[in-house]
Amino acid sequence: MRVITLLIMLAGSILTVGMAAANDDNLPDTLKIDKIEVDKDGPAVVKVEFVNDEELAALPIPLAVVGGLYKIDSVSFTGSRVEYLKMRPVTIAEDKSKVVFGAICMTEDYIPAGKGLMATIYLTPSKVASPKADFVVIDTTTMGPASMMFTKVSSASFIPAFSAGMVSHKKPVKKEDTAQQPGKEKGQ
């Protein structure tokens, strides 16, 4: 009888550990911002993604566009993992260099464990940018009382891992790079 009880307990613990590992994928809870290249003087569309391994109740995300090359135009939640929530506040600083946005569960289901799109940030070129500047970094910041954190269903909050974003200009193609030399095929 003891052997059977031990086997049942062992099987139960293996299943529990297996289910937890399947949900986690060994990925830490993370906020990641795209690194993209755009044409000079063109707008930029930057994706903000997140990974969480347990249900969340709220996500305040304060970000700054550092470098002066772009200003924040707007934030969209279309197609995101939090699109279903009613409370998705967005506040853009007056100088358009900072934004705080987020998602808060009120009466809806909690944000399930998973990975995917949080929001899309739309940037427009700044008229006061240095002509020599060719990139900006999108990093965390504090704005008002908001700081970046994930809040669990239990109301405990923590700071997730973070991967800063970047918008850089595509390098212009030199004429000699595109011209074919006589008698040679491209790629030779």
pLDDT tens for residues 144-175? 777 889 999 999 999 999 999 999 888 766 66
CA 81-83-84 angle, 5° bins? 105
Q: What percent of the chain has pLDDT over 90?
A: 59
DSSP 109: P
pTM comes to: 0.76
- Nearest Cα to Cα of residue 22 among 154, 153, 113: 113
| Domain ranges (residues) in the chain | 29-152
Convert the pLDDT of each residue in 110-135 to its tens digit: 999 999 999 999 999 987 766 667 78
Q: Which residues pair with 150 in a beta bridge?
A: 158
CATH of 29-152, one of 2.60.40.680, 1.20.1440.230, 1.10.260.40, 3.40.1030.10: 2.60.40.680
